[in-house]
Amino acid sequence: MNQRKLMFDKIIKENQFKTKCVIAIYLLIFILIGLLADIVRLDASSLGNGFYQLLTFKSFPIITFALSTIAVLIILFAIRNFKRILLSGNEYKEIIYGKEENAQERELSKILDELVKVANLSFRPKLFLMEAPFMNAFASGWEEQNSLIAVTTTLVRNLSREELKAVVAHELSHIRHGDIRLTLMVGILSNIMLLVVNYGVQHLPARQKGAQTARTILMILQFVLPLLTLVLQMFLSRSREYMADSGAAYLMNDNAPMIRALQKISGNYAQSDFSQADTNPTRSALYIFNPKELFSTHPSIENRIQALLQK
């Protein structure tokens, strides 16, 4: 057990380091885009002079400041409304601790309690049962205290108790690792960056050499940035999925239930197309399984199972 814990702790540290690197890259690109747009706005004589004026605040970086403010406001809005945003489109019910109405709800609540105890947590996420014809689950919440785990009714009906427990353990691991904050922040920053790049190219005139150079860089970013953000998002999300799978195996002290659950969930999607049934796209990156194969935010089931077999 101690050896498994050491191995798991090592995986956690490695993934946390990779995550910090990706976030640092995101923030640097975010600031760079704002400064380039400000250089075009100032119609700077040279690129170096433009950066100097802005970084020393001899000219206030209005666009950079506005970008940051908008990002913070959107993040705050998402934090306040994440439950309504993510659960909309389907009927759902919160399973309130001590007020479960049937055996299914009591079993789900008991499973979560067992995992919270094993993980030695000081918080208990809210638990939701979502009416849906597909097998899936997701977690959300900016902080541990306002976190939630949602599982679909079809998932609960088709998994054994141990498999369902592994899925809940996977989602609980996402919350423990702070993955939800990262997913939210990266998604918002990516969209704002793309909007500003397009605006800078199409609406900001550039007459002097420095402004023209900045505008040219923004024009290049207009094509490069979507691919770069996609690659970074895929790397970040996939590494977090492997990490949550490992967390589930660690909490269960067994990798077999997680493997069986992944096989059953992917098999469910292989039998039916649920694109019309699942009308809320905001959940797709948070699901335990993403049916998209090309440019998916999730690793393939085969790779996830192979990683679990090495645990």
> Measuring CA to CA, which residue among 1, 10, 250, 12 is closest to residue 118?
250
Tell me whether residue 105 is one of the annotated catalytic residues: no
Q: Are strands 148-152 and 137-140 parallel, antiparallel or unpaired?
A: antiparallel
- 214 three-class SS: helix
Contact (Cβ atoms closer than 8 angstroms) between residue 188 and residue 67: no
Tokens of 45: 């004589």
Q: Count CB atoms within 10 A of the CB of residue 67.
A: 23
Instruction: Enumerate residues 6+ apart whose C-beta is below 8 A from 81.
Output: none
Kindly provide the residue ranges of all beta strands, DSSP E only, lying in 11-103, ordered along the sequence.
92-94
Q: What Å distances lie between residue 27 and 24, 59, 184, 191, 231, CA to CA?
A: 5, 21, 14, 13, 15
Contacts by residues 38-42 (CB-CB < 8 Å, ≥ 24 positions apart): 38/62, 38/63, 38/64, 39/210, 39/211, 39/214, 40/200, 40/204, 40/205, 40/206, 40/211, 40/214, 40/215, 40/218, 41/204, 42/211
Instruction: Enumerate residues 6+ apart whose C-beta is below 8 A from 87.
Output: 128, 130, 150, 280
Catalytic residue among 105, 163, 171, 241: 171
- CA gap 221, 193 in Å, rounded: 10
Tokens of 233: 């998002």
Catalytic residues: 171
